Chain A
Amino acid sequence: MTPLAGYLLVAALIFAIGLAGALTRRNAILVLIGIELMLNSANLNLIAFWRYGPHPELLTGMMFAVFSIAVAAAEAAVGLGLVISIYRHTRTTDLDEMNRMKG
């Protein structure tokens, strides 16, 4: 097995774990944690392809990963702000109990 295939398999496993967490947990904050894990596994793929692909001196994959980290940080801030806002209205973070858009 080439090193790149190993990194891709680890990234696929972390993506599947994050997807399982996002789809099965009840707590909205843990769903966000699952989404963050999925974003991180995509970054691992980008950096592994940058390292083993042609022309690593152009820095393409690493820059993509750095920008993706910045977007993920903005997403986490807005997502957790939404969770806190919903909690203030409904007193719960249980996603199965959030079944209407109107507060």
Chain B
Amino acid sequence: MNPVFWILAVLTVIGALAAVTLKNTVHCALAVTVAFAGLALFYLQLDAQFAGFAQILIYIGAVAILVVFAILLTRGSETPRTGLFSRSWFAGMTIAAAVFAVLGWAVIQSAHVLPHESAAPAVDVNQIGNALLNRYVLPLEIIALLLTAALIGAVIVAMHEKGESK
């Protein structure tokens, strides 16, 4: 394990923790951006440059901005009087801790059969383009259809209806 891994792990986990615990919702959106950036750096460190830059473009460039827009449009940055956490917070924390315990136990139990260090795969954009238009052309078309449907659906769902507006 090299020091870069530990630095990225600490950065990402602190960003994720801050995103779910901070009081101000705008601060949460900024903290989750830090976590997304840490994950993008993880992808770059794992020699998945294409996925890393796609993560930076889509998550930091689009999803984080969308979240900030939603927070500002809904006055979500105000702290609610009733508290940050829902009434069933203890059950939620217990379920999350149990899920982490099971996942961590499974990983540690199977650590000796996991593959060790291997040579870095040489992947260039040419190969990725060929793969996308040969082997993965059907998923690519389906994802294009899904994105079009989601775009139209999001606009229709959030559209202001004149007849029944308050």
Contact = CB atoms under 8 A, between A and B. Distances in A.
B is bound to A = yes
A32 B67 contact: yes
A13 B43 CA distance: 17
**Which label, helix, strand, loop or mixed, suits the secondary structure of the B interface?**
helix
Contacts of A59: 123, 127-128, 131
Q: What interface size band does chain B fall in?
A: 35 or more
Contact of A44 (B42, B123, B157): B42
B46 to A, nearest CB: 4
Interface in A24-43: 24-27, 29-30, 32-34, 36-37, 40-41, 43
A12 B102 CA distance: 9
B82 to A, nearest CB: 7
A81 B158 contact: yes
A12 B58 contact: no
Interface residues of A, number: 75
B13 A71 contact: no
B20 A18 contact: yes
Contacts, number: 258
A23 B51 contact: no
**Which label, helix, strand, loop or mixed, suits the secondary structure of the A interface?**
helix
A6 B67 CA distance: 30
Interface string A1-34: 1111111111011111111110111110110111
B146 A74 contact: yes
B19 A48 contact: no
Interface string B63-97: 10011011101101000101111111101110111
B54 A24 contact: no
Interface of A: 1-10, 12-21, 23-27, 29-30, 32-34, 36-37, 40-41, 43-44, 47-48, 50-54, 56-59, 62-63, 65-67, 69-78, 80-85, 87-89, 93-96
Given A66-B51, A74-B150, 5 more contacts: A17-B96, A40-B35, A43-B39, A74-B151, A81-B157
